[in-house]
Amino acid sequence: MEKRVTFSNYWLAGLFIAPQLFLVFTFFYWPTGQALYWSLTLEPPFGGGNQFVGLQNFMAVFGDAHYWDSVIRSLVFALGTTAISVGFATVLALFADRGLFGHSIFKFAYFLPYAVPAAAVGLAFRFTFTPDAGIFGAVNHIIPGLWDPSRNGGQALFMIMLGQAWKMAGYNFVFLLAGLQSVPRSMIEAAAMDGAGVFRRMRDMQMPMITPTFFFLFVINITDSFVDSFGMIDVMTRGGPSRATELMVYKIYLDGFEAKDYSLAAAQSMLLMLLIMVMTIFQFRYVERRVHYN
Amino acid sequence: MSEISIRGVMKSYGRNTVIHGVDLTIAAGAFAVILGPSGCGKSTLLRMIAGLEKISKGDIAIDGKVVNKLEPRERGCAMVFQNYALYPHMTVADNIGYALKVAGVSKDERAKRVNEVAKSLALTDYLGRKPSELSGGQRQRVAMGRAMIRQPKVFLYDEPLSNLDAKLRVQMRAEIRKLHNQLGATSVFVTHDQVEAMTLADQIIVMNAGRVEQVGTPSEVYRKPATRFVASFIGAPPMNLLEAKVTGRTEVAIGSRHLMTPHHGLANGQSLIVGVRPEDVSSISGETLNVSFVEELGAQRFVHGTFEGQDFVVQQPPSDSSDKPATVVFSIRPETIHLFDAASGLRIEPVSVTAPAPAFA
């Protein structure tokens, strides 16, 4: 049984949590409530008398083929970035964990990208992947028209996926490294005595032992890619070319703030929130409990 | 069967040296126990044999072949770890068979050999279980099985019994010795428990502070401790060690009491350490012990007290009375006395009276 310190004085306890509750309410529950209200009404763009329309906004969203396209795109984006980012971070963590020369410098350097704001990452990637200069300029010079994310939608989406994956890799790296370092040394040594080489030990011992970390990171990465990709898309492609990078979160922005259809945007926000809530509940209920060995 | 020879082996972490030059030969097929207090470098020495620690200086050869540069898997050693180090995500069968799987042995062959090993360790019923579903003794046996299946030339044990309860420890000790006799490989066993060392070993290697203090059979280590440290480490309770001064060729003084000793041939006034085991103290009156407490063990009792201001323990036969006497009389027979140099701690062998005394430079 877990021991807890409990308050017998509820007034004092309430006083202590009041500032936090106030913040959470002001910046989370109130806007969420407002969005929920908007999603059920028809909101004129310049304010003034709104009208209750029930689930009509949701029906409009569900009936919109562009919306479903953005959902599929978001899923591809989420799974793709997560796979790239976690996969890449795993390789880095496995080698950093081996304590090779200079590993403390690498540990610091690998985490650094996570501290860069998404918009800055977007800007950097936009310049790096621009088709008419730098490395891709050279590539296009040899094979004209091979790389152009401003015209090729697939390439544009891939570019943003790389940016998001690059940014999250540092975060994933830290968790994976911590997971690897909690694997008992003697177990790895036992595997070495059993004849397993470095790569074999990584595959048979270290990777299975950090499955809980993998599951945790999958959920976190997917959630993050749903909401945090906004800055990068806005800087790099603004949803284009021809909606190729219009993910759910960016479509909300376009419908709400460009097309000024607050109600439709609010309904989509509600749906995105629901999706993220389901993922979070999944994480708490299943992931955090199931994958344990001892 | 493989001989292990360790030549001038040193280990340092940065500027901190933990093993100061160990020279040692472990005969092929022998059961060698490295015994010492915690932090004496015994596990480090074992891990250097295994290939889990780099050797800073010197050579280790197994079967005449220097293994310094070889990977653990190329040395032909198997190891049983203190915390068993089982693979928690694999079943017992997979744990035992992992080495074969890595070696690319076919599935059928693997299953056959796992079954044989499991049978010899009475693990057949548990092959499908995960390590977390086993008791301590069963886990220990899985760890043994994992080592056995490779049919190694050398078995290395790193305090494998220290996590078991007392009863199981005695049982596993016997099993380990039995296995050793069956398999005929060379075994090196690290422990801080002298009972384990005495009961298991053909050869005991006593280590202290990164140095080997004595190598010998269990009875040699007990009867003729080479240093003061060995004398104080082996035996339960350990040997009484008293500070003394030479007052004659066969006599020393402990405080105000004079004691007959074997012929030591040392100059008068030199200080030395007199050792006598509690079980060797005779009950004939002569000296007096001021009793501080009595340890009752059933088969015998140990009376702790002071003799001439120094701690002293006397073994007595069992007795019906449970009260603590104020004093106990005892005497020390000269032939039971061990002498050690006060400064170096080395054993001083008695001089044979008939032979001429060796010339000291």
Please tell me whether residue A99 adopts helix, strand or coil conformation. coil
Confidence (pLDDT) at B360? 54
CB–CB contact A194 B146 (8 Å): yes
**Region B97-115 average pLDDT:** 90
**Region B234-258 average pLDDT:** 89
Q: Helices (DSSP H) in chain B: which residue ranges?
A: 42-50, 92-102, 107-120, 136-148, 166-183, 194-200, 218-223, 228-233
Please tell me which of the candidates B82, B102, B130 has its beta carbon nearest to residue A194: B102
pLDDT higher for B359 or B150?
A: B150
Res B171 pLDDT > 70: yes
CB–CB contact A186 B85 (8 Å): yes
**Region B300-323 average pLDDT:** 87
Confidence (pLDDT) at A247? 82
Please tell me which of the candidates A187, A193, A205 has its beta carbon nearest to residue B72: A193
CB–CB contact B103 A209 (8 Å): no
Is B42:B207 a contact under the CB 8 Å cutoff? yes
**Region B197-212 average pLDDT:** 92
Confidence (pLDDT) at B361? 47
Interface mutation target, options A185, A187, A193, A201, chain B, most CBs of B under 10 Å:
A193
Res A148 pLDDT > 80: no
Res B123 pLDDT > 90: no
Distance of CA A20 to the CA centre of its chain: 25
CB–CB contact A194 B130 (8 Å): no
Percent of chain A with pLDDT over 90: 10
User: Which option is the CATH number for A58-290: 1.10.1040.10, 3.40.50.11900, 1.10.3720.10, 3.40.605.10?
Assistant: 1.10.3720.10
- Phi, psi (deg, nearest 5) at residue B218: -55, -40
Cβ-Cβ contacts under 8 Å, A194 against chain B: 73, 98-99, 102, 146, 150
Please tell me which of the candidates B51, B87, B102 has its beta carbon nearest to residue A187: B87
Counting one residue from chain A and one from chain B, the pairs whose CB atoms sit within 8 A come to 64
CB–CB contact A293 B150 (8 Å): no
Confidence (pLDDT) at B228? 93
Using pLDDT thresholds of 50, 70 and 90, give the confidence band for residue A86. Answer: very high
> Among the listed ranges A177-186, B280-289, B296-305, B346-355, which one has the minimum average pLDDT value?
B346-355
Confidence (pLDDT) at A292? 52
Using pLDDT thresholds of 50, 70 and 90, give the confidence band for residue A99. Answer: confident
Domains of chain B as residue ranges with CATH: 4-225 (3.40.50.300), 237-348 (no CATH)
Using pLDDT thresholds of 50, 70 and 90, give the confidence band for residue A23. Answer: very high
Using pLDDT thresholds of 50, 70 and 90, give the confidence band for residue A291. Answer: low
Res B192 pLDDT > 60: yes
Res A142 pLDDT > 70: yes
Res A191 pLDDT > 50: yes
Burial track A196-218 (b if 16+ CB lie within 10 A, e otherwise): beeebbbebbbbbbbbbbbbbbb
Any B CB within 8 A of A196 CB: yes
Res A284 pLDDT > 80: no
Mean pLDDT of chain A: 83
Any B CB within 8 A of A52 CB: no
Confidence (pLDDT) at A287? 64
Interface mutation target, options A187, A189, A194, chain B, most CBs of B under 10 Å:
A194
**Region A137-166 average pLDDT:** 80
Q: How many whole angstroms separate alpha carbon A136 and alpha carbon B324?
A: 94
Confidence (pLDDT) at B1? 61
pLDDT higher for A172 or A119?
A: A172
B33-49 per-position pLDDT tens digit? 999 998 888 999 999 99
Res A290 pLDDT > 80: no
In terms of CA atoms, which chain A residue is nearest residue B100? A194
Q: How many whole angstroms separate alpha carbon B177 and alpha carbon B202?
A: 10
Rg value, chain B, Cα: 25
Residue whose C-alpha is closest to residue A82's, from A219, A182, A202, A183? A219
CB–CB contact B87 A190 (8 Å): yes
Distances (CA, A) of A293 to A36, A184, B84: 42, 13, 16
Res B194 pLDDT > 50: yes
**Region A31-50 average pLDDT:** 80
**Region A99-111 average pLDDT:** 80
Using pLDDT thresholds of 50, 70 and 90, give the confidence band for residue A197. Answer: confident
Res B354 pLDDT > 50: yes
Confidence (pLDDT) at A280? 83
